[in-house]
Amino acid sequence: MTADPQSRDSAVKAVHQQFRIVGAGPTGALLALGLAQQGFSVVLHDRLSAELLLSRSRAYAITHSSRRLLQDLGLWAALLDQMEPFCSLRLDDCSAHCTAWFHIRDLRPANRPAEAIGWVLDHRPLMSLLLERLEASDQVALQLDDATPAEEALANEGSRQWIVAADGPRSMLRRSAEVPFLSHPYRQGCLTVKLRLTGAYQHCAYELFRPEGPMAVLPLGQDRYQVVWSAPLQRCRDRAASSASELVSTLDAILPEGVDVVQLLDEPGAFPLELSLAPRLHRGSLLLVGEAGHRCHPVGGQGLNLCWRDVSDLLNLTAAVRRGEMASPSLARRYSRCRRIDLVGVLLSTDLLIRFFSNHNPLLMPFRRLALFMLKRISWIRRFSLSAMTDGPGTLLKPLPK
């Protein structure tokens, strides 16, 4: 099919088009790198210095949708030695006393050659590589430790410039542009801490559903693990402020039998959780990417991977603009539309999951036992559930990319 004149003209203009991205965390930096590789000019702002961007103590669960993006951008091989794969996932309902397992055979066939259900990647090596590649790119102007107000970035927008808000859930750009935003704070908060464990299964991740909220235990290699622990917010803050011995005792009491804490490896942190979504991820030339446009409960490790699917879909659209297959002015509308199913699907499923499992309601207990029994016994339910977690709900009825 021959592109229409408007699309061809848009492709020519795209060569000179600039993206100004505010927020140089993993999502903003990854988008900047992808746009630069496509030949766009990118200015990347962040109020933090490179040192502060690197200093966050956090690890991420990487799913297959994120693996494909990192491979497309030429980052996967460089990060592979820094990641810890997990080949099994143990799901425990601690109130119903039921356990279900996911294994590599439960993945969709296209994902099985990767020989892992997922990977755990520490923040520092990820950001180090991203900043290194961005600094080496002639297409990227890095403006870190930059306190440029959000209003100034919007005021300087031009006909050949897209503004991207990748500045997190409290996005000043989104607020300055008065983009409609729906938000529901959870009663839960989240505590994160790295620690050493003994007695845990090798190359196994744990998801524990407890009455106060879910807990993920993610392997970092050897005997090191990242814990992502949801509970009432004040309880999370109290635990984070407690002594190391008190926190270790609390963890030992709730971890699976035979799994014990040896040592805390960093200072625990606590933060509030919320369910939020911008019904449209754009206004004018402003695009919302990552947590600037949505936020979900961290159950199942969905947060970062959902943000990176924003990046993947947006890069697919900008590539179409470069090829002259799509008019540049329609980029924002198409981006909002193509992200809708994935965002709504993940936000609803994570919300329903914690409402179903994080309670003491005795009326729900038989249904919870039935759900875990079906996961244990019926392979296609495991494959369906794991595909939704690792590839996104928008891919369930589609073949996966090779």
What are the residues facing 161 on neighbouring strands? Answer: 18
In the sheet with 83-86, reading across from the earlier edge strand, the strands are 59-62, 118-122, 83-86
d(CA 17, CA 11): 10
pLDDT of residue 358: 83
Q: Is the pTM of this model over 0.85?
A: yes
pLDDT of residue 360: 81
In the sheet with 140-143, reading across from the earlier edge strand, the strands are 140-143, 41-45, 18-22, 161-165, 286-288, 282-283
d(CA 47, CA 22): 9
Task: Return averaged pLDDT per consecutive 10 residues of the chain, 402 residues in all.
Answer: 48 66 96 97 94 91 96 97 96 91 95 96 96 96 80 60 93 93 92 95 94 94 93 94 94 93 93 94 95 92 94 96 91 95 94 87 90 93 93 80 70
Strands (E), 104-181: 118-122, 140-143, 161-165
d(CA 302, CA 289): 15
> CA of 58: how far to CAs of 66, 341, 364, in Å?
17, 28, 34
Q: Which ranges of 226-322 does DSSP label H, i.e. alpha helix? A: 233-241, 244-254, 302-322
Backbone angles phi, psi at 10, to 5 degrees: -65, -35
pLDDT of residue 162: 93
* 112 burial via Cβ count (<10 Å: 0-12, 13-18, 19+): middle
- In the Cβ-directed half-sphere of 44, how many Cα atoms lie within 13 Å? 32
DSSP per position, 305-345: HHHHHHHHHHHHHHHHHHTTSS-GGGHHHHHHHHHHHHHHH
Q: Which two tokens stand for residue 3?
A: 């592109």
pLDDT of residue 151: 59
Please choose, from the candidates 132, 131, 130, the residue with its C-alpha nearest in 3D space to the C-alpha of residue 70. 130
Please choose, from the candidates 322, 292, 285, 332, the residue with its C-alpha nearest in 3D space to the C-alpha of residue 35. 322
Domains belonging to the chain, first-starting first, are 5-80+122-183+276-355 (3.50.50.60)
Confirm if 57 and 200 have CB atoms less than 8 A apart.
no
Write the single-letter amino acid at 334.
R
Backbone angles phi, psi at 12, to 5 degrees: -65, -45
pLDDT of residue 240: 94
Element (H, E) at 271: strand 269-277
